[in-house]
Every structure is written in structure tokens, then in C-alpha cells.
Amino acid sequence: MTFLRGKAGWVGLGALLLNLGLCALAFAQDGGTRTDAKTDFITVYILGGGGFGFIFLLPIEILSIATIAAIIEHFVTLQRDKLVPPEVVVELETLLDEEQYEEAISLCEASKNYLTNIVGAAIARVGEGYEAMKVAAETATEEENLKLLHKISWLSLFGNIGPMLGLFGTVVGMVIAFSKIAEQQSSPSPSELATGIFTALVTTVWGLLVAMPALAFFYVFKMRVQRLSFELSNVALEIVERFKVAEGNK
């Protein structure tokens, strides 16, 4: 999960603090006027009512933090200037114009990004002619596009797992609630059942809160990746195309 490494780790920490801050605010608004520990915000919505509820809520809460971190990281990194720094493009084109191919390869290896990975793969086969370079560039383009799709696919995974975890917690809660009915000879009071069922349903709420933004932003970033990959692959292929012209002039 590359979005949780390096600077993105600080993003995840910020998301965690934001999550806890929102919880504290909601608790101040909701719990400040309530004295029943079983129904305050923290106990129900963060601890799942205690007991088995917290066991099912914890992975969903972690998933929500990872989702926030991924969304913020994608907004920062899935930009044209981040994927292909303009200064690198200028320097690379200058080296190619001067036919300094070894230096161009060194630049591609030192500045790894979408463009340099494609152009570097092509330049490495400059001695084999334009057709070999074109094939290498097309193969590298497919690999780079696949990397971008893999990068955002985590959001799709989070969006699909969240509701399933929530539903699983709810079903287990319902099973436990109805098992109490089976164990007691007399009918249990509505309050006894309501507490367990209410706590169980909280897991479904959390699961949906993870799924809705995760899936929505997945499709937003998917469209952005498709647009960027189309634009940037054309830039890379235009750079490689100059070798066809040079080969034809020989």
C-alpha cells in the first residue's frame, strides 16, 4: 500500500487526528447533556457499545482512516506536474536534441516518473532502431497506466469491504440478540433487545460511511487517471517519435 509510505504516512496521521477530532466534537455536542454511559456517542459509535461491538467496529474504523489517507494522497499526487515534472521534460528534451543519450538514460534512472520510465525504456534500445524503441515505449506505457490503476484500486477494495464488514457485525449482533430470546423462558424486555440490535446496526452505518466516499472518489480518480494517462502517453510517444524522423533523414 504505497500511499501509506513516506509523506503519506503523515497524511494518515493527520486523517486519524481529524477523525478523532470530529468524534470529540460530536461527543461534546451529544454526550454533554447525557448521563447514560451506554448510549453516549463514544460508547456507541466508537466502541460499538462495548464487548463484541468494538471487535467488529475496530477494523472498519481503521479502514475509514486508510480511506481518508488514500483520498488525500491521490488528490496531491495524481496531478500532471507531479507525474511529469516540467523541468524534467525540458532537461530530457535538451539532452535528446544534443544526442546525449547516455546522459538522458541517467536522467531517466535518477528521476523516476511516468514520462522518464517510458522514454528511458525507449532510449535504452536506441541502437536497435525506431521500431524497437516504439515497442519498448508502448510496453512501458501499458505498465505505467497499470501502476496508476493499481494505485487507485485500493479505494475500490475499501469501498467493497466496508459494507461487508458492517453487515457481518450486524448479523452477529442479531444472532446474539435472538439467542437471548431463545435462552430466556420469559419474553425479554424491548430495552434488552434494542440495546444489542442498536449496537449491531452501528457497524452497518460505519461500513456505509466508508463505502460511499471510497467508491465515489474511486470513480473520480479513475476518470482522472484515464485523462492523465492519455495526455502523458502522447507526450512520451511524441518524444520517441523524433527518432523516427532522425532515422528517416539518415
Mean predicted confidence (pLDDT) in 124-153? 90
Query: Could you tell me the pLDDT band of residue 20, with boundaries at 50, 70 and 90?
Result: very low
Q: Which of 82, 101, 72 has its CA nearest to residue 232?
A: 82
Helix residue ranges, H only, the chain? 7-30, 41, 52-77, 80-83, 86-97, 101-110, 114-123, 130-183, 190-249
- How far does Cα 233 stand from its chain's mean position? 23
**pTM for this predicted structure:** 0.73
Query: Could you tell me the pLDDT band of residue 246, with boundaries at 50, 70 and 90?
Result: low
Higher-confidence position of 83 and 183:
83
Q: Which residue range forms the structural domain that includes residue 241?
A: 2-249
Q: Which of 24, 31, 20, 237 has its CA nearest to residue 134?
A: 237
Mean pLDDT of the chain: 77
> Would the CA dihedral through 25, 29, 30, 33 be positive or negative?
positive
Are 202 and 49 contacting, i.e. CB atoms less than 8 angstroms apart? yes
Classify 34 as helix, strand or coil.
coil
Higher-confidence position of 155 and 241:
155
Distance CA 16, CA 179 (A): 36
Domain count, the chain: 1
Tens digit of pLDDT for each residue in 232-241? Answer: 888 888 888 8
Q: Which of 191, 163, 167 has its CA nearest to residue 177?
A: 191
Q: Which of 170, 200, 195 has its CA nearest to residue 38?
A: 195
Tens digit of pLDDT for each residue in 175-208? Answer: 777 777 777 666 666 666 666 677 678 888 888 9
Are 57 and 156 contacting, i.e. CB atoms less than 8 angstroms apart? no
- How far does Cα 208 stand from its chain's mean position? 17
